[in-house]
Amino acid sequence: MNLLHYYIGVDLGGTKIRVALARSGGEIVDVRSFPTEAERGTETVLANLQSGVDVLLADGGCPWDKVAGMGVCVAGFYDCKAELMIKSPNLPGWEFFQLKQKLEDLFALPIVIENDASAAAYGEFCFGTGRGQEDMLLLTLGTGIGGGLVLGGKLYRGSRGFGGEIGHIPILPDGPRCGCGRRGCLEALASGTAIAREGRNLLAGHGTTLLREMVAVSGDLRAEHVFEAARLGDAASNGIIDRAAYYLGRALAIAVAILNPGIVVLSGGIAANGEQFFDPVRRHFHAAVLPLLATEMLIAGGRLGADSGIRGILQLVEEQLE
């Protein structure tokens, strides 16, 4: 295929669907977001995706017969052997859903599906913080914690596509309940959800804390409030962040002993707090890791922000279909 052609990249999230149109070679023509309406079920979500793609192609003046394939990245457990969406935290009702087959039927295009953190890892590896590395671990730190691995220069999926699920490594026996149903997973200790939960626990106590005033204004409590209160000098909020960083640092010490990567990239909303979070994470990491494994290894933020998944899946679909 050496004529000009296009690829579609999709980041299928719980609240919005991001769709990108790119030329072969990687140049992105346009990116748009559309509501997912996940609560209305699979048919509505797929219809929203389809109309989003239609809009993008029409506005970009790209005829359907110039589109060579579509890549979709999605949060959750996608079984790459069985080509089956096992379950997704963001998409209720998608259990054991034949996503690939469904999309092939709908779009009559070759479809590539990937876990969103894996796609983000590949994006940062090819175009962002991971450039020039061989072995890289990426974590997406948001409401949940996802992970993606690039090993020996290639995206690593594992035997069924579940490689890199660092959010669900058991860290604290009898720890807080995780979204997966078990206790003490990393995600239950260091995600945005975990930080917000600890913030609420703090407010349930009687101590004075800046956090109380901030939440009285905004009405709800998100991880971002805890970070902001800590930046403004609130010791209790800083303690919450330090504890999340402690668990994340220990988890990285574990992952690094297993993988010996050249770099660990932290991305997602929580990582957007930058050094305020990276600094204690690095401190706890170095306290826990075998020093030999940590020399010459970087812990750094991602560079592509919310585009990492789209960039990664576009690269993957082009590599796999060319």
| Euclidean distance between CA atoms 109 and 300, whole angstroms | 37
What backbone phi and psi angles, to 5 degrees, belong to 140?
Answer: -100, 115
Q: How far is CA 110 from CA 37, 104, 113, in A?
A: 25, 6, 10
State the nearest-atom distance from the C-beta of 157 to a copy of itself, in Å: 7
Per-residue buried b or exposed e for 262-293, using 16+ beta carbons within 10 Å of the residue's own CB:
ebbbbbbbbbbbeeebbebbbebbeebbeeee
What number of other Cβ atoms are within 10 A of residue 230's Cβ? 22
Task: Give the nearer residue to a copy of itself in terms of CB position, either 214 or 248.
Answer: 248
Nearest to 162 by CA among 264, 259, 78: 78
State the nearest-atom distance from the C-beta of 184 to a copy of itself, in Å: 9
Q: Among 61, 152, 205, 219, which residue sits at the site for a copy of itself (rule: CB under 8 A)? A: 152
State the nearest-atom distance from the C-beta of 255 to a copy of itself, in Å: 6
Contact set for a copy of itself, span 258-277 (CB under 8 A): 258-262
Contact set for a copy of itself, span 53-112 (CB under 8 A): 77, 86
Interstrand relation of 154-156 and 16-23 (parallel, antiparallel or unpaired): unpaired
- Taking CB under 8 A as the rule, does residue 28 contact a copy of itself? no
Can you give the three-state secondary structure of 105-118, one letter per residue?
Answer: HHHCCCEEEEEHHH
- Taking CB under 8 A as the rule, does residue 154 contact a copy of itself? yes
Number of residues in contact with a copy of itself, rule: CB under 8 A?
A: 45
161 conformational bin, left if phi > 0, alpha if psi -120 to 50, beta if neither: left
- Taking CB under 8 A as the rule, does residue 300 contact a copy of itself? no
Q: Among 9, 147, 192, 199, which residue sits at the site for a copy of itself (rule: CB under 8 A)? A: 147
- Taking CB under 8 A as the rule, does residue 2 contact a copy of itself? no
Q: Among 29, 55, 203, 297, which residue sits at the site for a copy of itself (rule: CB under 8 A)? A: 297
Interface ranges with a copy of itself (CB under 8 A): 77, 86, 133-135, 147, 149, 151-152, 154, 156-166, 168-170, 173, 180, 182, 185, 250, 253-255, 257-262, 288-290, 292-293, 296-297
